[in-house]
Amino acid sequence: MTGSPQTTHPVTIRPASPDDAPEVAPLIDMAGGGVYRFLLDGLVPGMEPAEMLMPGLAGSSGSFSHRQIGVAEAGGRVVGVAHAYPVDWMRMEDHSGLPPDRMAHLEPFHGTQDWGSYFLSALAVEPDYRRRGIAGRLMQWVYGRARDGGYDRLTLHVWADNEAARSFYASEGFEETARAPIAWHERLPHLGGSILLSRSTRL
């Protein structure tokens, strides 16, 4: 097997714990392709967006809790995350602390959601661990959670210009169901907006 020595550790998939928050937060931030920085940057002076995600991740309630996250662990470190929950929970989220102009820019996300589905909010694997099937294993964990909750389909948003992720989701059997025309912004420089993908949880 190729790769740096650390990547030879066996990989375990398990539910996240509160103590994982510091390692999970940067991976969630990475999965968002800049959306967390776009939303949170500058709101708490001196604090990075990933740090601002940590209290929610360490907590036990809400869509951002570690309870909605599966991790891939290797050599005692978190090297991958999947974050998923019922999409309808978004309707109960409190966004009052977020700038209205930034929320308005992202409104097309909301307008294209497939209400009633289970939603993959984030998926990321550290660069040194990619192309080893870890994301595929994390997705199996997510499909199982969705099925256990009675959900027949999993949906997600992927940036149209994220070719690696689109190839990955195609290999998992996802298909495009809608496009969210989120405009290019200097702090969120994506071309082509975001694509809503969907897949049965029972394939």
Ligand X SMILES: CC(C)(COP(=O)(O)OP(=O)(O)OC[C@H]1O[C@@H](n2cnc3c(N)ncnc32)[C@H](O)[C@@H]1OP(=O)(O)O)[C@@H](O)C(=O)NCCC(=O)NCCS
Nearer to ligand X, 96 or 203 (CB): 203
* Binding window for ligand X (CB under 6 A); candidates: 87-95, 103-111, 134-142, 178-186: 134-142
Query: How far apart, in whole angstroms, are the C-alpha atoms of residue 23 and residue 81?
Result: 9
188 binds ligand X (CB under 6 A): no
Query: Taking CB under 6 A as the criterion, which residues in 20-39 touch ligand X?
Result: 30-31
> Quick one: 57 exposed, middle or buried, by C-beta within 10 A (0-12, 13-18, 19+)?
buried
Report yes or no: 24 and 59 within 8 Å, Cβ to Cβ. no
Q: Please report which helix (H) or strand (E) contains residue 78, including its range.
A: strand 77-86
135 binds ligand X (CB under 6 A): yes
Query: How far apart, in whole angstroms, are the C-alpha atoms of residue 83 and residue 176?
Result: 20
Query: Which string of x and - marks every residue 95-124 that binds ligand X (by CB under 6 A)?
Result: ----------------------------xx
Report yes or no: 25 and 53 within 8 Å, Cβ to Cβ. yes
136 binds ligand X (CB under 6 A): yes
Which residues contact ligand X (rule: CB under 6 A)? 30-31, 123-125, 130-136, 158, 162, 164-165, 167-168, 171
